Amino acid sequence: MSALLEVRDLTIRTGTGRALVTGLTFSVARGERLGLIGESGSGKSLTTLAVLGLLPDGMTASGSVVLDGTQIIGASEKTLAGVRGRGAAIVFQEPLTALDPLMRVGRQIAEPLRRRRGVTGAALRRAVAEALERVRLPDPARIARAFPHELSGGQRQRVALAMALACDPALLIADEPTTALDVTVQAEMLDLVDTLVRERDMAVAFVSHDLAVVARVTDRVLVMKDGHAVESGDVHEVVRAPREAYTKALVDSARQLESALDSFGGAQ
């Protein structure tokens, strides 16, 4: 069986022709959990957007991106609308901007549910409540009626996760979903993502600049730097024996952070 996501020689350029991502090749099998790591600005977010044909205005992608059997590059808006959501859905980094500030949370989750399952009315309301419960949000009825600004950052991020899961995607793309959260909330969110995708055999592309985070929830990692793939392989292999200097630096800084956190945690 072919891979769920097959990216070959992906290059992303700005309108002026500057290459932001160059010759990137990787794949994600069904149910596989891939980590995408690299420092800020290395092109991780653009790569995930290109997977769904959602690059910002003026940017162009070349190469090949096949998601769930559909070629994304050069596809019509209609084809894209068909594969988005079903093929892959994204959870974004910033929980404040990922939700419409003026729309009640319930309605925002209802939209993909309605589209994906064709339910309406009371059945739709029930589905919304279930979706909120699934991401461990307490009192789903109250949360559904709330506006984003009435929720905490962690709660908002769970809502965003619920929205992405409501699409029932074959691939969940999580673009630094924990970076903007407090450390404790971060750990809960990671566990939640981990549990939910394992439960449904969903594939994950987990993006982070933090190797320690990626190592917890993925099997394989792809290390990026300046729009290039630097190294890839089994996550534990890479952490134990990084081949590239850049990866080594990432591992070291993750270690330092870890030990700093440990000594800090011991003092608490």
Partner 1 sequence: MKRRSPTLWTGAVLAGLVVLLALVSLVWLPYDPADTSGGRLAGPGDGHLLGTDKLGRDLFTQLMTGSRIALEAGLGSVLIAALIGVTLGVLAAYAQGWFDDTLSALLDILIAFPTLLLAMLIVAARSATLGSAILAIGLAQSAVVARLTRILVKRVLAQDYITAARTSGTSWPRITAGHVLPNIWPTLVVNLALQFGLAVLAEAGLSYLGLGAPPPNASWGRMLQEAQATFTTAPAGALAPGVLLVLLVIGVNLIADGLRDVLDPTTRRGRAAA
Ligand X SMILES: Nc1ncnc2c1ncn2[C@@H]1O[C@H](COP(=O)(O)OP(=O)(O)O)[C@@H](O)[C@H]1O
**Smallest gap from residue 176 Cβ to Mg ion (A):** 6
- Alpha helices, DSSP H only, in the chain? 44-51, 77-83, 105-117, 121-134, 140-145, 153-166, 183-199, 211-217, 235-240, 245-267
Q: Which residues bind partner 1 (CB under 8 A)?
A: 49, 52, 54, 56-58, 81-82, 84-86, 88-90, 92, 94, 97-103, 108, 111-112, 115-116, 149-150, 160, 163-164, 166-167
- The contact mask relative to ligand X for 39-58 (x = CB under 6 A, - = no) is -xxxxxxx---------x--
- Grouping H, G, I as helix, E, B as strand and the rest as coil, residue 125 is helix
Q: Which does 35 bind (CB under 5 to 8 A by kind): partner 1, ligand X, Mg ion, none?
A: none
- How far apart are alpha carbons 100 and 83 in whole angstroms? 23
Q: How far is CA 37 from CA 116, 139, 234, in A?
A: 31, 35, 13
- Of 30-38, 43-51, 131-139, 240-248: span binding Mg ion (CB under 5 A): 43-51
Q: Tell me whether residue 56 or residue 138 sits nearer to ligand X (CB atom).
A: 56
**7 lies in the binding site for ligand X (CB under 6 A):** no
- Residue with Cβ nearer ligand X (13 or 104): 13
Using the rule CB under 6 A, is 17 a contact of ligand X? no
End-to-end CA gap in the chain:
50
116 φ/ψ angles, rounded to the nearest 5 degrees: -80, -35
Minimum separation from the CB atom of position 142 to ligand X (A): 34
- CA 264 to CA 257: how far, in whole Å? 10
220 vs 225, which CB is nearer to ligand X?
225
- Counting contacts by CB under 6 A, is residue 97 touching ligand X? no
CA angle 180-159-235, nearest 5°?
Answer: 55
Q: Which residues contact 256 (CB under 8 A, 6 or more apart)?
A: none
Closest CB 201 distance from Mg ion, rounded Å: 27
Return the number of the residue (38 or 85) whose C-beta is nearest ligand X: 38
- Work out whether 178 is an interface residue with Mg ion (CB under 5 A): no
Q: Which residue has the tokens 């205005």?
A: 57
Q: What is each CA distance from 164 to 104, 108, 175, 263, in whole angstroms?
A: 16, 11, 12, 36
Q: Counting contacts by CB under 5 A, is residue 45 touching Mg ion? A: yes
Q: Which is nearer to partner 1, 165 or 229 (CB)?
A: 165
> Which of partner 1, Mg ion, ligand X, none binds 46 (CB below 5-8 Å, type-dependent)?
ligand X
Q: Are 49 and 92 in contact (CB under 8 A)?
A: no
Q: How far is the CB of 225 from ligand X (least distance, A)?
A: 10
Give contact residues for ligand X (rule: CB under 6 A): 14, 20, 38, 40-46, 56
